Amino acid sequence: MIEKIISENKIVNYNNQPLLLLDFWASWCLTCAPATKQLEILQELRPNDVFMVAISDEKEEAISNYLRRNPIRLAVLKDYLPNSMIEYFNVYSRPYAVLLSLDGKILFQGHPSDINREMIDRFASQNKSKPQKKWDDLFYVVKNTNPVVKPINNGEIKIIKQPLGEKRMYIENGIFHYHGSLLELIKFLTAYSNHQIEFSNMTDYGVLLTCSESDLNSKPHILQSIEKQLSFNIQTGSKQVDATIIDVVNPNLLWDDKQINWNNGINPTYVVGSDRVEADNMTLKELANLLSDIKGTLHYYKGNDNSLRDWNFHYHYDNLMIEDLSSSFGIQLKKEKITLPLYIISP
């Protein structure tokens, strides 16, 4: 069941294609826009094999505001929250895709970047004898009678503890909202990696933060405020560690921010596929932090280049990543022992 069809599929009409793909996204999800654009390309390539819809469980206003900034050419649906498809398919992160046959069999669940033409071709071939389904057989529109959620106060920095859950960041009506772990919030406010934040005599927990959009211009101020409100201490420190240093040996090969244009904002947007990373508007320091997270080993940039740049390279195999970064971006990776700055969080 859905609450509303926000917009139709602008690439292809529904004509009883043998496969149905559900693209679950949200306006607070930085990686959803590029993931959906990849699916749009696949929809163009396989118009007779699959019909794709993009689904969000947010308010209609939030969906419409997002679509003005990031138009989606797939059909856009608003989920019906009392009996949501997000809960039915156990969607635990965004972006998230579910590929179905028309008889309701789940063929794939996971990150949209793992869906390719070969997968669509294989499943479409296996489901040639498709049942005849009308649109209402797939999605039944139900009016939502849920009460309106009360508005959030503006002009204050508020943070409370909550159970750990999926990370979400978004701006709505001039208010910045963050849901997720304290660790991820501190990473966002400090631009540090996992390797640079340590908990002493305490463990990570979930938080809910709201503040004005203008407060994001002073992230240290937000950090000081949440330190006071949650009654913990932040101390600086350092340690000697082995790191993979990102060294730019040929700056002329670095891309600018015009190579990939997934959004109009300044926040970095990226997709981590099975073997490649694509990123829009990401600094070298942010790239080092991303590689630290996905590779599980510390990557570090010691330079002072803070320009927003676009990226597309192999990351899965170290030798291919080294070759790709060198030939495409003039970056050399080298092992080095460094003094790593830390934030130490304690009660």
Domains and CATH numbers, the chain: 2-138 (3.40.30.10), 158-230 (no CATH), 240-346 (no CATH)
Q: What is the pLDDT of residue 136?
A: 74
Confidence of residue 151 (pLDDT cuts 50, 70, 90): very low
pLDDT greater than 90 at residue 46? yes
Is the per-residue pLDDT at 280 higher than 90?
no
Higher per-residue confidence, 220 vs 12? 12
Q: What residue ranges in the chain does DSSP mark as E strands?
A: 2-7, 19-24, 50-56, 75-79, 96-101, 106-110, 158-162, 168-172, 175-181, 197-199, 206-212, 233-248, 269-272, 276-282, 299-300, 309-314, 331-346
Q: How many CB atoms lie within 10 A of CB 224?
A: 14
**Hey, what are 190's tokens?**
């400090």
The share of the chain scoring above pLDDT 70, in percent, equals 91
pLDDT of 344: 92
In whole angstroms, give the CA distance from residue 261 to residue 163. Answer: 35
pLDDT at 223 over 70: yes
Mean pLDDT of 114-133: 87
C-beta separation of 50 from 124 below 8 A: yes
Highest mean pLDDT among 87-91, 137-141, 179-183, 326-330: 326-330
**Is the model more confident about 81 or about 277?**
277
Q: Judging by beta carbons within 10 Å of its beta carbon (0-12, 13-18, 19+), is residue 53 exposed, middle or buried?
A: buried
Whole-number pLDDT of residue 155: 54
Highest mean pLDDT among 61-70, 174-183, 230-239, 309-318: 309-318
Cα–Cα distance measured from residue 320 to residue 152, given in angstroms and rounded to the nearest whole number:
48
- What is the pLDDT confidence band of residue 162, given thresholds at 50, 70 and 90? confident
Measure the CA–CA gap between 24 and 46, rounded to whole angstroms. 20
d(CA 263, CA 280): 8
What is the pLDDT at residue 191? Answer: 83
Strands (E), 85-230: 96-101, 106-110, 158-162, 168-172, 175-181, 197-199, 206-212
Predicted local confidence at residue 267, as pLDDT = 56
pLDDT, one tens digit per residue, over 136-149 is 777 767 665 444 43
Q: In terms of Cα–Cα distance, which of 164, 161, 172, 166 is closest to 211?
A: 172
**What is the pTM (predicted TM-score) of this model?**
0.56
φ/ψ (deg, to 5) at 33: -60, -50
Single-letter amino acid code for the residue at 195? H
Beta strands at 233-248 and 206-212: parallel, antiparallel or unpaired: unpaired
Angle 111-116-121 from CA coordinates, rounded to 5°: 130
Contact by Cβ (8 Å): 54, 36: yes
User: In sequence order, which residues have a C-beta less than 8 Å from that of residue 307 and are 6 or more positions away?
Assistant: 256, 257, 283
